[in-house]
A and B are shown apart, each in its own frame.
Chain A
Amino acid sequence: MLSCKEVADRASAMIDGELGAWEMLQMRMHLAMCKGCARFISQMRITRDLTAAANTSGAVQDTDDTRISAILSQRHDGKPHGG
């Protein structure tokens, strides 16, 4: 039987779908009996989803148009180089 600490250590692998069948079964057995770990896994899923959602939040800024124009105007300056 996994301890709560062992469940927490495997939380990311579980929610990212990277556990094998046996490890997944061990996790499910623990989670069925442990409210604390069930809550923790739920917190980690929410954290994963909010982290993804935060990527472009507030990304549009007033200065964007100026910056975009500045970048586009520099593209033909000088010679291309490797990248």
Chain B
Amino acid sequence: MRGMTDIDRSDEAALVRALAAGDRAAFERVYRQHNAAMVRFASGILKNRASAEEVTQDAWVSVLKNIGGFEGRSSLAGWIFTILLNKARTRAGRDGRSVSFDGAGEDDSLAAAFDGRGRWKDMPELWEKMTAERIVAGRSVLQHVNAAIETLPPAQRAVLVLRAQEGLEAGEVCAILDISEGNMRVLLHRARLAVRAALDALS
């Protein structure tokens, strides 16, 4: 996974200026780029899609109101997700729940895949036809991927969305979620194993 280049940064600075100026096209671009991931992220925390959509909408209003104060110390996406997480925390708190991404939690989905000497019990399949365009059971492979992400435990889901989908830097993901880099790597790996298992079931 790559970091931001200088071109990305100047591109982003121009985008931020356009957002601050109230440019609708710029807002549409940012909205379409991040909104689905924001709802996916928030519904992992709130366990409710309708609340996640409301909180995401609130976060967008806050993003536009405060864009003048964005100084580029983080990426724009990192800043947007920080605002979203604050909104989701407030909502979860109102429902009497606290939000933490600490602890790797569950076993990985490969726990039973190996024999006592650490060898595969069953040889992994060759995924010859696993492409984005393929349709299985009426849904594209990409829709199956997002459905699998929506079944992940909250911490795994948060890391997968921020790091593997939104492409935030590792350090930024750790700062937003308040977790260590080691913990983030375990969560990312486990989340990916779970998505792999869901894809394997399609093949």
Contact = CB atoms under 8 A, between A and B. Distances in A.
Interface of A: 3-6, 8-9, 11-13, 16, 18, 35-37, 39-40, 42-44, 46-48, 50-60, 64, 67-68, 70-72, 74-75, 78, 80-83
Contacts of B63: 83
User: Majority SS of interface residues in chain A?
Assistant: helix
A51 B130 contact: no
A75 B22 CA distance: 9
Contacts of B149: 51, 54
A32 to B, nearest CB: 16
Nearest to B83: A83
Contacts of B188: 12
Interface in B37-72: 37, 57, 60-66, 68-69
B124 interface: yes
Nearest to B117: A3
A48 B189 CA distance: 10
28 contacts: A3-B117, A3-B118, A36-B120, A36-B123, A42-B126, A42-B127, A43-B124, A43-B199, A44-B192, A50-B141, A50-B195, A51-B145, A51-B195, A54-B143, A54-B165, A55-B36, A55-B166, A57-B146, A58-B140, A64-B35, A67-B31, A67-B57, A68-B27, A71-B57, A72-B64, A80-B66, A80-B69, A81-B65
A11 B189 CA distance: 8
Nearest to A7: B118
Nearest to B65: A80
B127 A59 contact: no
Q: Would you call the interface of chain B mostly helix, strand, loop, or mixed?
A: helix
Contacts of A46: 127, 130, 199
Contacts of B1: 16
A50 B130 contact: yes
Contacts of B64: 71-72, 75
A60 B36 CA distance: 9
Contacts of B189: 9, 11-13
Contacts of A6: 118
B36 A4 contact: no
A57 B143 contact: yes
Given A39-B125, A52-B164, A4 B65 contact: no
Given A50-B145, A68-B27, A43 B200 contact: yes
Contacts of A59: 32, 35-36
Contacts of A37: 120, 124
Contact of B145 (A42, A44, A54): A54
B192 A48 contact: yes
Contacts of B35: 59, 64
